[in-house]
């Protein structure tokens, strides 16, 4: 077994203990779930034109490639599927979603998405919307949920405005802290977070099902800058996917990392170190930059994270919401 695949198997075992599982048994009762479709930062892994050692594993082994961070929400009972963010890896991620939760037999020629929730207007989080246009799927009326500035950005800038004008997407409003009801037992609530908001606001999301819930915050400047306490938000959910863009300060030689603020994984672990083990086990880092040793399966870095009681998100893992 290749080292990266071995690490993946070990992560799978640890994920189960944290309330996260591998794909479910098809014979099991159909319950709503969240599916991880990608774990990398906006540029994916390997990153374009990176010829350094950090991307070498994925340059030579396609199984080491990682898609851009995104979640799917699936309600098997109604057959509906939603995405959080439409990434540059939209095509591959939609195929993964189709395998995990096949669309209705009479809807195989469309994206078959009940909606897409946008976190913000940085490249890894909305470029996939272009795949809904007439050059690609030619979708009809896919609901796209967006905060006010994000909505204005899509309405007033091409080619996104064309998607609106041609009816490929239908923009729907999000409001900070107000839940959107997907079904009678499924809600998605946007939570404003501080980030580099050049074009739009930035939000994370809380996904709540009939029995369990998930927090998703892939981008934030620093936890200390948020009006909410991250400890309180973790306490409200069963699994928390948190910004793990960088592992530690100094990861980008020659760059002032304050120019691209994110809470380093080591920084977050230090802040949350005094939480009870059960609370730390809820945290699963996601949204890894190509320089982050975690994204390439570095056993030492992953060992530090897991040894401190936290987890690392992996593609294909799912959280049952029942």
User: So what's the pLDDT on residue 228?
Assistant: 98
Pairs from 150-159 (Cβ < 8 Å, separation ≥ 24):
150/118, 150/120, 150/121, 150/126, 150/174, 150/199, 150/200, 150/201, 153/121, 153/199, 153/200, 154/126, 154/129, 159/130, 159/133
User: So what's the pLDDT on residue 258?
Assistant: 81
pTM of the model: 0.92
User: So what's the pLDDT on residue 8?
Assistant: 44
Which H or E run contains 205? strand 203-208
User: Please, are residues 70 and 87 in contact by the beta-carbon 8 Å criterion?
Assistant: yes
Alpha carbon of residue 129 to chain centroid: 15
Task: Tell me the three state secondary structure of residue 261.
Answer: coil
Domain ranges of the chain: 3-320
Question: What is the token pair recorded at 91?
Answer: 């095509």
Q: Which residue has the tokens 């009972």?
A: 77
Cβ burial 26-62 (10 Å sphere, 16+ → b, else e): eeeeebbbbbbbbbbbbbbbbbeebeeebbebbeeee
- Reported as a single tens digit per residue, the pLDDT across 286-299 is 999 999 999 999 99
Alpha-carbon distance 79 to 242, whole Å? 28
- Reported as a single tens digit per residue, the pLDDT across 19-68 is 787 665 555 558 999 999 999 999 999 999 999 999 999 999 999 999 99
User: So what's the pLDDT on residue 277?
Assistant: 98
pLDDT, tens digit only, all 322 positions of the chain: 334 443 444 444 445 446 787 665 555 558 999 999 999 999 999 999 999 999 999 999 999 999 999 999 999 999 999 999 999 999 999 999 999 999 987 766 689 999 999 999 999 999 999 999 999 999 999 999 999 999 999 999 999 999 999 999 999 999 999 999 999 999 999 999 999 999 999 999 999 999 999 999 999 999 999 999 999 999 999 999 999 999 999 898 888 888 888 999 999 999 999 999 999 999 999 999 999 999 999 999 999 999 999 999 999 999 999 9
Measure CA of the first residue to CA of the last residue in the chain; give whole Å.
Answer: 34
Quote the CATH superfamily of domain 3-320.
Ribonuclease Z/Hydroxyacylglutathione hydrolase-like (3.60.15.10)
Q: In what order do the strands lie in the sheet with 115-117?
A: 169-173, 142-146, 115-117, 80-84, 70-75, 33-38, 318-320
Alpha-carbon distance 91 to 261, whole Å? 29
Question: What is the token pair recorded at 80?
Answer: 């509906």
């Amino acid at each position: 077994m290749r080292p990266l695949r071995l690490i993946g198997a070990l992560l799978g075992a640890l994920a189960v203990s944290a309330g996260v599982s591998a794909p479910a048994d098809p014979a099991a009762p159909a319950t709503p779930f969240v599916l991880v479709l990608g774990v990398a930062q906006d540029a994916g892994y390997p990153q374009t034109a990176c010829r350094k050692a950090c991307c070498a594993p994925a340059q030579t082994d396609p199984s080491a490639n990682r898609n851009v961070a995104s979640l799917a929400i699936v309600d098997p009972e109604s057959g509906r599927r939603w995405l959080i963010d439409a990434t540059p890896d939209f095509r591959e991620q939609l195929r993964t979603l189709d395998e995990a939760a096949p669309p209705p037999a009479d809807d195989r020629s469309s994206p078959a998405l009940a909606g897409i929730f946008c976190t913000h207007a940085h490249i890894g989080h909305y470029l996939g919307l272009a795949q809904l246009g007439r050059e690609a799927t030619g979708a009809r009326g896919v609901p796209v949920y967006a905060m006010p500035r994000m909505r204005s950005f899509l309405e007033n800038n091409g080619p996104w405005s064309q998607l609106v004008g041609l009816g490929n997407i239908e923009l729907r409003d999000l409001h900070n802290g107000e839940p959107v009801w997907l079904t009678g037992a499924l809600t998605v609530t946007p939570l404003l977070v501080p980030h580099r908001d050049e074009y739009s606001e930035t939000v994370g999301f809380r996904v709540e099902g009939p029995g369990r819930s998930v927090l998703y915050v892939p981008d934030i400047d620093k936890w200390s800058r948020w009006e909410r306490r991250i400890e309180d938000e973790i306490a409200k959910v069963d699994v928390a996917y948190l910004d793990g863009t960088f592992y530690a300060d100094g990861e980008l030689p020659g760059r002032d990392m304050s120019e691209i603020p994110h809470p380093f994984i080591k920084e977050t672990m230090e802040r949350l170190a005094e939480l009870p083990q059960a609370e730390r086990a809820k945290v699963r880092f996601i949204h890894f930059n190509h320089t982050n040793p975690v994204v390439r399966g570095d056993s030492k870095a992953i060992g530090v994270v897991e040894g401190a009681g936290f987890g690392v998100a992996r593609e294909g893992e799912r959280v049952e919401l029942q």
